[in-house]
Amino acid sequence: MIKVYGGIYSRASMVMCVLETLGLEYENISMLPRSEATQSEEYRALNATGKLPTLVDGDLVLWESQAILFYLARKYGDALLWVDTLEQEADLYRWSLFISNQIEAPALDMLLAVKYAQGEPDQSVIDAQVQTLARFLPVLENHLQGEEYLVSGKLTVADFHGATVMSWPKVAGFDYTPYPAIESWLRRILALPVQKKVRSQASV
Ligand SMILES: N[C@@H](CCC(=O)N[C@@H](CS)C(=O)NCC(=O)O)C(=O)O
């Protein structure tokens, strides 16, 4: 059976959302980021970075969440969560990589500034990331005008990855009101029943 290492408080949550949407059975080995379990010899033999998530599917051991999502959709999607043409595939890579290359680092820094704050979060760190986001969010806002999904007018793995990343700034109090198309797309993807299902099944 497919195994997913990592709990809901990690990028493993998007992997589990995709597995659930594809109707695949899997075993979740729940562990927290930066925990003893992720630094164990046994886990590092699967993923030498000591980070989450890792997917094991038969002989395949795969880490890097987007690689995992692309693999699952291509292997098991059968038209679900993936696109039809090479041009649409390029578009999916474009928006997924845009989010991971331009938005993920500032979004994560905002989340970590709150999560690992000793006392009050450092507002100057958060403000610096807001400045970075201000450069790229208008591009995404423009793209999402009148669109329900990130690419090809259908739900794809890009939405699960993108919405997870874009939810992190909210933890630091970021307000998407000036970006209504992003706000409504984010709300739509995070409200998918599968998100609730994954959260309710997980132990950590
Ligand atoms: N680019 C990697 C990032 C993996 C990553 O940073 N995972 C977090 C949890 S979501 C982690 O394990 N962090 C622990 C650490 O930074 O040591 C991916 O998308 O899989």
Q: What is the CATH number of the domain that holds 17?
A: 3.40.30.10
Q: Are strands 2-5 and 54-57 parallel, antiparallel or unpaired?
A: antiparallel
Query: Using an 8 Å Cβ cutoff, are 24 and 46 in contact?
Result: no
Name the residue range of residue 42's domain.
2-78+194-201
Within 10 angstroms of residue 56's Cβ, the number of other Cβ atoms is: 19
Query: Using an 8 Å Cβ cutoff, are 188 and 176 in contact?
Result: no
Same domain for 28 and 93: no
Q: Which one of 4, 11, 69, 108 would you pick to mutate in the ligand 1 pocket, going by the greatest count of ligand atoms within 8 A of its CB? A: 11
What is the pLDDT at residue 118? 87
Structure tokens at 192: 């998918």
What is the pLDDT at residue 93? 98
Same domain for 105 and 13: no
What is the pLDDT at residue 51? 97
Using CA positions, which residue lies closest to atom 12 of ligand 1?
51
- The Cα-based distances of 104 to 20, 21, 76, 101, 165 in angstroms read 24, 24, 27, 6, 6
Query: Using an 8 Å Cβ cutoff, are 111 and 168 in contact?
Result: yes
Domain count, the chain: 2
Q: Which one of 16, 51, 157 would you pick to mutate in the ligand 1 pocket, going by the greatest count of ligand atoms within 8 A of its CB? A: 51
| Cross-strand pairs, 62 | 55
How many angstroms separate the alpha carbon of residue 6 from the centre of ligand 1?
A: 10
What is the pLDDT at residue 204? 52
Same domain for 182 and 116: yes
- Phi and psi, residue 168, nearest 5°: -60, -45
Q: CA-based Rg of the chain, rounded to a whole angstrom?
A: 17
Sheet containing strand 26-29, edge to edge, reads: 26-29, 2-5, 54-57, 60-63
Query: What is the separation of C-alpha 142 from the centre of its chain, rounded to a whole number of angstroms?
Result: 21
Same domain for 135 and 71: no
Ligand 1: residues whose CB is within 6 Å? 10-11, 33-34, 50-52, 64-65
In the chain, the amino acid numbered 32 is L
> Could you read off the pLDDT tens digit of each residue along the chain, which spans 204 residues?
999 999 998 999 999 999 999 999 999 999 999 999 999 999 999 999 999 999 999 999 999 999 999 999 999 998 899 999 999 999 999 999 999 999 999 999 999 999 888 888 889 999 999 999 999 999 999 999 999 999 999 999 999 999 999 999 999 999 999 999 999 999 999 999 999 999 998 665
Same domain for 42 and 96: no
CATH number for the domain spanning 157: value is 1.20.1050.10
Same domain for 107 and 59: no
What is the pLDDT at residue 119? 87
Model pTM score: 0.95
Query: Using an 8 Å Cβ cutoff, are 204 and 198 in contact?
Result: no
